[in-house]
């Protein structure tokens, strides 16, 4: 089944304890992206990647790191999490990017992160 998977689905952690949220897709997509969703703010893009070893900042990259060593995986790293990073995080992927008429983004199920 074609899908985007994220792990963990729920995470409660403490300020300053490094964490990684994994994202994997099995559709051979080149484009992958991370979003955070907060009540009343909608979805905001954190980072995106056009292909292996190619990553770029979205609108809210501060406090986050990403890497794209393999095409299928795009982990989100919080080196020193803070309470303002408490949010619902979504990973998404599309075949080539966002430019074409068929560039559908498929979203993962989401990771609910709480930083105490």
Partner 1 sequence: QQPVQSPQAVILREGEDAVINCSSSKALYSVHWYRQKHGEAPVFLMILLKGGEQKGHEKISASFNEKKQQSSLYLTASQLSYSGTYFCGTRRGNNRLAFGKGNQVVVIP
Q: Is 45 in the site for partner 1 (CB under 8 A)?
A: yes
Tokens matching residue 91: 């990973």
CB 112 to partner 1: min, Å = 10
Subset of 50-69 contacting partner 1 (CB under 8 A): 50, 56, 58-59
Q: Rounded CA gap, 90 and 33, in Å? A: 8
Q: Rounded CA gap, 11 and 111, in Å? A: 7
CB 39 to partner 1: min, Å = 10
Burial class (CB in 10 A: 0-12, 13-18, 19+), 99: exposed
Which residues of this protein are in contact with partner 1, per CB under 8 A?
Answer: 31, 33, 35, 40-45, 48, 50, 56, 58-59, 90, 97-110
């Amino acid at each position: 089944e074609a899908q985007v998977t994220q792990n963990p689905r729920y995470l409660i952690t403490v300020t300053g304890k490094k964490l990684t949220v994994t994202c994997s897709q099995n559709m051979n997509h080149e484009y992958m992206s991370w979003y955070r969703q907060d009540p009343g703010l909608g979805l905001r893009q954190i980072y995106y990647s056009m292909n292996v070893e190619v990553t770029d900042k979205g609108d809210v990259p501060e406090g986050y790191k990403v890497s794209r060593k393999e095409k299928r995986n795009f982990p989100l790293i919080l080196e020193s999490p803070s309470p303002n990073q408490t949010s619902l995080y979504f990973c998404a992927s599309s075949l080539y990017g966002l430019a074409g008429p068929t560039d559908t983004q498929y979203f993962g199920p989401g990771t609910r992160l709480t930083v105490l």
